[in-house]
Structures are given as structure tokens and as C-alpha cells.
A and B are shown apart, each in its own frame.
Chain A
Amino acid sequence: MQVYGTEITSRLLLGTAQYPAPSVLAEAITSSGTEIITLSLRRETADGDGAGFWQGLQQAGCHILPNTAGCHSVQEAVTTAHMARDLFNTAWIKLEVIGHADTLQPDVFGLVDAARILAEDGFQVFPYTTDDLVVGEKLLEAGCEVLMPWGAPIGSGQGLRNPDALRAMRAHFPNVPLIVDAGIGRPSDAAQAMELGMDAVLLNTAVAKAGDPATMGRAMALAVEAGRLGYVADLMPRRDMAVPSTPVLGLAELT
């Protein structure tokens, strides 16, 4: 798949937070085969903690997708995006404008405003959004070339709360890369998203908080690949009643 002109082989994007140790994160990145990892910006201490973390991650050789996590206003998100571009030397930004502290639901009005400002300034915006079609259209009009609908609230691991809405997004935006961001809890959730025709999934907590993050990273990669192949292969339609798979013609009369 291509995102903003960059060819990506792995359809699994991985967050870097909440791992028990940097070495565990590094193992999970390797085992998942991810090519895009997300990062944030936080206050630096004078001892340069952030620089050490950053140097370690650069060795992974992944594309960096900085986020604006924690921003609740357009101004905060836009300023954070500029700081991220200055720091990571990338035009990519995972744009989050959070509207509600409990649900971490996107403020889609602020999101569209911030996306427009950033796209006009040369950013390549990956908007964390809901599964609302109209909001999706507004984001595309604002200059986004990728949409990242949520599956469920961030960190909840609930899986896809509204598969029908994601299916509708696929039908409505056939040529726009769709990346499910947030809510994936288990490999079957990731596979389901891909079977619906999503182009990729972005997840973090499901791997970081697994008992064995490296193995879960691999499990997610396999699930994403299986789901993608299932979508490409064209799934059979569901039926309400049983239909015998063994031929009835030629069945013996044994009574």
C-alpha cells in the first residue's frame, strides 16, 4: 500500500508506549515486522532522557509517525505538529484533537480545522477520527489523503464496536487508505478489520500490555496478513440457513 507516496509492505502500524522495557519494545517492533511506529513529544529533562530513547528507536529503521496525543485544542495540536516536524524531520503527523477526557473521542470539528491548517502548511496528516462519513469527507477536503477511524476508545481493547460503519467507510471511500486506529485488543480484532477491507491497523496497548509483547506482535502481524488475504480473496456471503457442502446428488437410499 502507499501512504502519501511512500510504499509500505507491512499493514501493521505499532505504537511505542507502555512497554515494560525498551528492549521489549525493540523485540516487538522486530517480531511484528512493522514499518511505521508512532511516537510522541513530552517535556525533556536536562539529562536528555528523550534523546536516548530516540537514538535507540532510530536503529529499528522504521518510518516515524509522530502524534499530537493529549492535545485538546486546535492551537495545541498545530503547535505540537510543528514541534514534531522540527524534531523528527518528517512531514507526517498523526493528528489527534481530543474532545472528551474519558472516552478520548476525537473532537472532529477541531480535527478538521487543524488538518486544514497543517495540510496547507505542507504536513501529511494522518487524522485520528471517528467512523463518520461526513467527517471523513471534510478531512479529505481539508487535504488529508489517509483516514484513521477508531475501532473503539483508545486503550480499551474492545475490538470493533461498529463494523458496519467501517464497512460503509470502505464502500464510500474506495480509494482512500483507511487505517483502523485504536481499540484493537486481540488478533481476531485486527483480522476482522482487515477482512472489512481496511488497509491497515494501528495498535499499541494490545501488544505492549500482552504477557509476551514480542509474540503478540507476531500474532498481530499474522492476523493482519490473514485478514487482508481474506478480503482480497473475496469472502463468501453469509447465509441464514445451512446449505450442505457435500453433494446431495448420488446419495444412497439405505433405509
Chain B
Amino acid sequence: MQIIVNAQAHEVRAQTLEAALCELGFTSPAIATALNGVFVSRAKRSDVLLTNGDRLEVLAPMQGG
């Protein structure tokens, strides 16, 4: 299926958010996720099933004021 990851289209085979992150190469523990604008905690990622067209945001620590 195709999902939008940080505004870029990606093809993924994984069914869960957890597996998709691994497939996409987001292996760092220092990330936070939101699916279709809704926060998904670290603990819930393996429970969340993806559907075609989902919008995934993967955020990481960055400089800030």
C-alpha cells in the first residue's frame, strides 16, 4: 500500500505502524509518531494498523528556542 511519510509517498508492505517504521528505516528510538494528525505513542505502534493513503508524521529532536 502507499502511505505518506513526512509529506513523501512511500510504498510499504508492513501492516502495522511499528513494522512500517522498521521497513522505512526509522530505527532510532528517538522518534515520535502521529498518524493522520493523531498522536500514536511508542507503546501503541504495534497495535495500529495502516491503511492505504494514511499520513504518517515521524518527528525527531531538533534545535529549538
Instruction: Report which A residues bind B (CB closer than 8 A).
Output: 15-19, 25, 38-44, 46-51, 53-55, 57, 66-67, 69, 75, 79, 82-84, 86-88, 154-155, 204-205
Q: Closest A residue to B62 by CB, please name it.
A: A42
- List 7 contacting pairs A-B, 8 Å CB cutoff, sorted by A: A15-B65, A41-B32, A42-B60, A42-B62, A43-B59, A50-B61, A53-B63
Q: Closest B residue to A53 by CB, please name it.
A: B61
Q: Mark B29-64, 1 if CB is under 8 A from A, else 0.
A: 111111001110110000000000000011111111
Verify A43–B65 contact, CB threshold 8 A.
Answer: no
Contact partner of B60 (CB less than 8 A), chosen from A51, A57, A155, is: A51
Smallest CB-CB A-B distances: 3 pairs: A50-B60, A40-B64, A15-B65
Verify A40–B32 contact, CB threshold 8 A.
Answer: no
Contacts of A82 in B (CB 8 A): 39, 41
Question: Given known contacts A48-B27, A75-B37, A79-B38, is B58 in contact with A43 (CB within 8 Å)?
Answer: yes
Contacts of B63 in A (CB 8 A): 15-19, 25, 39-40, 53
Contact partner of B62 (CB less than 8 A), chosen from A25, A40, A46, A154, is: A40
Verify A67–B64 contact, CB threshold 8 A.
Answer: yes
| B28 CB → nearest A CB, Å | 4
| B23 CB → nearest A CB, Å | 10
Verify A53–B32 contact, CB threshold 8 A.
Answer: no
Verify B24–A79 contact, CB threshold 8 A.
Answer: no
Contacts of A155 in B (CB 8 A): 65
| B12 CB → nearest A CB, Å | 13
Q: Closest A residue to B43 by CB, please name it.
A: A86
Give B1-32 interface residues, CB cut-off 8 Å to A. 6-7, 24-32
Q: Closest B residue to A182 by CB, please name it.
A: B65
Contacts A42-B59, A43-B58, A54-B61 aside, 10 further interface pairs with beta carbons under 8 A come to A17-B65, A43-B59, A44-B31, A67-B65, A83-B32, A86-B39, A87-B31, A87-B32, A87-B59, A205-B65
What is the CA–CA distance of A47 and B28 in the complex, to the nearest angstrom?
Answer: 9
Question: Given known contacts A16-B64, A51-B28, A54-B30, is B58 in contact with A44 (CB within 8 Å)?
Answer: yes
Contacts of B31 in A (CB 8 A): 44, 50-51, 87
Question: Given known contacts A83-B33, A86-B39, A86-B42, is B26 in contact with A44 (CB within 8 Å)?
Answer: yes
